Chains A and B, each alone.
Chain A
Amino acid sequence: MSTGFVFALTGSILFAAGVAGVVLVAHLLRRILAFNLMGSGAFLVLVGLAQRQDVADPVPQAMVLTGIVVAVAATALALALVRKLHALSGRLELPDDVDE
Chain B
Amino acid sequence: MSEPLFDPLVWLILLPLAWATLAFVLGPGRGAWPAIAGLTAQCWLALDLARKVGAGGTAIAGPDTLMGTAVHVVGGWGAPLGIDLAVDGLSAAMLLLTQVVALPLAIYARSYFKPGDPAGAWFWPLTGFLIAGLNALFVSADLFNLYVTLELVGLGAVALVAAGGGAQQVAAALRYLFATLVGSGAYLLGVALIYGAYGTVSIATLLPLVTNDAPRLVWIAGGLMVAGLMLKTALFPFHFWLPPAHGGAPAPVSALLSALVVKASFYLILRLWLGPLQAVLPTFAWLPALLGAAAIFWGSWQAIRAVKLKRLIAYSTVAQLGYLFLIFPLLAVPGALQAGVMQVFAHGLAKAGMFAAAGVLIKATGQDTVAGLAGAVERLPVTMFAFGLAGMTLMGLPPSSGFLAKWLIIEAALAQGHWIIAVVVLAGGLLAAVYVLRVLRQAFLLAPASVTLRPVSRTLEWSAFALAAASVLLGLRGVELMRLSGAVT
- Least CB distance from A91 to B in Å reads 8
Instruction: Encode B181-208 as 1/0 by CB contact (under 8 A) with A.
Output: 1100110110111011101010000000
Q: Which residues of B sit under 8 angstroms from A38, Cβ to Cβ?
A: 181-182, 185
**Which of B15-23, B59-67, B158-166 makes up part of the contact surface?**
B158-166
A49 and B182: CB pair below 8 A? Answer: no
Given A88-B166, A100-B307, A45:B177 Cβ within 8 A: no
Say whether A13 faces chain B, with CB atoms less than 8 Å apart: no
* Chain B residue at minimal CB-CB distance from A97: B244
Q: Which residues of B sit under 8 angstroms from A94, Cβ to Cβ?
A: 171, 174-175
- Least CB distance from A79 to B in Å reads 11
A15 and B185: CB pair below 8 A? Answer: yes
Say whether B311 faces chain A, with CB atoms less than 8 Å apart: yes
Q: Which residues of B sit under 8 angstroms from A35, Cβ to Cβ?
A: 178, 181-182, 185
Which A1-52 residues sit within 8 Å CB-CB of chain B? 8, 11-12, 15, 18-19, 22-23, 28, 31, 35, 38-39, 41-43, 45-46, 48-50, 52
Q: How far is it, in angstroms, between the C-alpha of A48 and the C-alpha of B166 when the chains are bound?
A: 44
Taking residues whose C-beta sits less than 8 angstroms from the other chain, chain B's interface range is: 35 or more
Given A74-B181, A77-B158, A81-B162, A45:B189 Cβ within 8 A: yes
- Interchain CB contact (< 8 A) of A49 among B177, B193, B243: B193
A57 and B178: CB pair below 8 A? Answer: no
B199 and A100: CB pair below 8 A? Answer: no
A70 and B175: CB pair below 8 A? Answer: no
Q: How far is it, in angstroms, between the C-alpha of A95 and the C-alpha of B151 when the chains are bound?
A: 25
Say whether B10 faces chain A, with CB atoms less than 8 Å apart: no
Q: Which residues of A sit under 8 angstroms from B201, Cβ to Cβ?
A: 63
By CB atoms of chain A within 10 A, which of B151, B159, B175 has the most? B151
* Chain A residue at minimal CB-CB distance from B312: A99
B182 and A19: CB pair below 8 A? Answer: yes
B192 and A19: CB pair below 8 A? Answer: no
By CB atoms of chain A within 10 A, which of B148, B166, B178 has the most? B178
B181 and A22: CB pair below 8 A? Answer: yes
B185 and A73: CB pair below 8 A? Answer: no
- Interchain CB contact (< 8 A) of A23 among B158, B162, B173, B182: B182
Q: Which residues of B sit under 8 angstroms from A41, Cβ to Cβ?
A: 189
Q: Which residues of B contact A (CB under 8 A)?
A: 144, 147-148, 151, 155, 158-159, 162, 166-168, 170-175, 177-178, 181-182, 185-186, 188-189, 191-193, 195-197, 199, 201, 243-244, 247, 306-308, 311
Known: A12-B189, A50-B196, A78-B174. 4 other contacts (CB 8 A): A11-B192, A18-B185, A88-B170, A97-B244
